[in-house]
Amino acid sequence: MKNIGIMGGTFDPIHNGHIAVGKQAYKEYGLDEIWFMPSGRPPHKTDHTVTSAEDRCEMTRLAIKEEPYFRFSDFEARREGNTYTAQTLKLLTENYPDCRFFFIIGADSLYELESWYRPEEVLHMAVILVAGREYPEAKRSLEGQISYLRDKYQGEIFPLHLREMDVASVHLREMAAEGADLSPYLPAAVWEYIQTHDLYGRRKD
């Protein structure tokens, strides 16, 4: 049985925080591989235009190419319509019966997990690994939220112990539009790709 970490997300753009979380999950929980899996059409990202799946997939490939235990997967990106985590995990468990999946998320996603499509199935099909991240709307501590969901759904949920990183893709898109240098926050190849393809172009006054 292989232990596989799933790093899902829009990755618009993928940044150093994503890479650090993947490395910590691999190291802390003894995983065999981390699969970076850009979403296709995320149902919860309707408040802004999402960069094309082709560009997001290519940025992801570039970001992880130096890590031997990172793998790129277009499993979600090539699916039609909205992509839900419960459906993805069901397909993964059917397609890879020799794998145990660890779904890696940020604390914000853990607090919102009960609003997801069929959260009980998500918690049944995968171990959840949670990285600390600021969530102003939190009504309980991260440890309290983990305990609450464990008790309610009988799921396996564990924290990732790494320094919280103050970086988010939405802020990086805004910074890029203002012409800021994103090199401190992104793998070099990703920043070069963004500049070459003008993905988050400078705003016109």
What secondary structure, in 3-state letters, does 118-180 show? CHHHHHHHCEEEEECCCCCCCCCCHHHHHHHHHHHHCCCEEEECCCCCCCCHHHHHHHHHCCC
pLDDT, tens digit, 9 for 90 and up, residues 40-57: 765 555 555 789 999 999
Q: 2-168 in CATH: which number? A: 3.40.50.620
Whether pTM exceeds 0.85: yes
pLDDT of residue 83: 78
Taking alpha carbons only, the member of 13, 41, 25 closest to residue 171 is 13
Domain ranges of the chain: 2-168
10-residue block means of pLDDT along the chain (205 residues)?
A: 96 96 97 95 61 95 97 90 88 96 95 95 97 79 95 97 85 94 96 95 55
- For residue 182 the two structure tokens come to 């994103």
Beta pairing class for 157-160 and 2-9: unpaired
pLDDT, tens digit, 9 for 90 and up, residues 110-139: 999 999 999 999 999 999 999 987 677 778
- For residue 67 the two structure tokens come to 């890590």
DSSP summary character for residue 71? E
